[in-house]
Chain A
Amino acid sequence: MTTPLPSIPASPDGTPPSRELAFEGVGVDLAGVTVLRDVTVTLPQRRIAVIGSNGSGKSTFARLLGGLVAPSRGRVAVHGHDLVAERKQVLRMVGSVFSNPDAQIIMPTVAEDVAFSLRRRGLTREEVARRVTATLERYGLAERADAPAHSLSGGQKQLLALSAVLITEPALIVADEPTALLDGRNSRLISALLLDEIPQQLVLVTHDLELAARCDVAVRFEDGRLFEVDDPAPVIARYRRDLG
């Protein structure tokens, strides 16, 4: 089912958009199956909620922006940079956070895992150490710097995953169900960080409609298609109604 796309709401504070995600006729085929089709939308808002049923295409949308799948058709531009032609540059601009923090830990200890993000960036060892220390202090992980990363609690692991992304100062954060495996307290901590504290543009894929309601715009996918884009309140209301 395809509905005409409504006009995209402006940022709530009225400031002119300086960063935007642009999709033009984008489709994605995986193993011969079309999982995303005909996506055309421009998203200048800072906080973009992506909602929809399981298998609706919302995670594929996030994986596109994270460089984990390539568009089979159409064009994706992140802040003016083409996702295919300028892939390396776009990957450096985008930080991805997934639902399972265990699967994001690459190095054995907390500090080493955060430092891993700065490899191949031409920084001196001292500069890497300085940035890692500052990042761990900022996100409350300094005391666990030398602890085995997998010994952290679920919330701390997700904080570690976010720290490892934020230390690279990306322009866009793509978070796919970042609070799905967390308890209420840690979920609030991570969502407050993502929605209220960081300055980056955020694409938040979520089943948590309360989180989606706090974003500047909601994008709903159904059956591999972009279903609607609008202010979060009406999109969520219609989604709730359709869920029955």
Chain B
Amino acid sequence: MIALYRPGTSPLHRLPAGPKLIALMLLAIAITVFASNAWYIAGASALVVAGYFAAGFGPLEILRQLWTLRWIVAVTLITQVIFLPLPVAATNTGRVVTVVMLATLVTLTTRTSALLDAVERGLGPLRRIGVDPARVGLVMAMTITVVPVIAGYAASIRDAQRARGAKPRLRILVMPLLVMSLKHADELGDALVARGAE
């Protein structure tokens, strides 16, 4: 689900990470606060689609990114439909998808290291209250890095369970996944020390 940088020369690629992050934050707030009906959502979505085209990504890439959000769409929509009328639930879900697609566009056009540098600079003033910007940036980077690893563990556990004739079930997936993830965290801790990031 977390997209990675795709090299390119578009204006969006060339824009520094700091302004992109600020624009993302402002647009996300605007969409969340003001996009109160389907027309506003459609307008915001059109803007995001235009951004993808401006960055050199075609309709296939947009559809690919949307497909990766299918579970978010399902969970957001289903949980809201229980309590809210369908049009309101659909508008809220549209808002979430638009903001996530916008955030994805930023990560697709910005190197992770540039994003981290921008975050570290942005969090600089918080040093006075004990926040370590470098550590926050490192945690963000490692979160992005570790997602495919955990997904790989989940896939290998499901394969092992299928190979032994068990139907894949969430209940029997969680415990081995937790054990493997903790072991990975332990090894990653060693790697951090070994690479001087204590």
Of B61-69, B72-80, B166-174, B187-195, the one with at least 4 CB within 8 A of chain A = B187-195
- Tell me whether B144 and A103 are in contact (CB under 8 A): no
Q: Looking at B4, B142, B152, B197, which has the most chain A CB atoms within 10 Å of its CB? A: B4
CA distance A105 to B144 in the complex (A): 11
A91 touches B (CB below 8 Å): yes
A216 touches B (CB below 8 Å): no
Instruction: For chain A, residues 83 to 115, give those with C-beta under 8 angstroms from any C-beta of chain B.
Output: 91-92, 94-96, 98, 100, 102-109, 112, 115
In the A-B complex, list the 7 residue pairs whose CB atoms are closest, starting with the nearest: A103-B187, A96-B194, A150-B148, A104-B191, A112-B113, A108-B144, A108-B112
- Tell me whether B141 and A107 are in contact (CB under 8 A): yes
Residues of chain B within 8 A (CB-CB) of A103 are 184, 187-188, 190-191
- Chain A residue with Cβ nearest B188: A103
A29 touches B (CB below 8 Å): no
Q: How many A-B residue pairs have CB under 8 A?
A: 81
28 pairs, A vs B, C-beta closer than 8 Å: A66-B190, A96-B190, A96-B194, A100-B187, A102-B184, A103-B190, A103-B191, A104-B191, A105-B191, A106-B145, A107-B112, A107-B113, A108-B4, A108-B5, A108-B145, A109-B4, A109-B5, A112-B111, A112-B141, A115-B113, A116-B195, A116-B197, A120-B196, A146-B5, A146-B6, A150-B148, A164-B195, A165-B195
B136 touches A (CB below 8 Å): no
Residues of chain B within 8 A (CB-CB) of A164 are 195
Least CB distance, A124 to chain B, in whole angstroms: 13
CA distance A68 to B191 in the complex (A): 9
- Tell me whether B190 and A105 are in contact (CB under 8 A): no
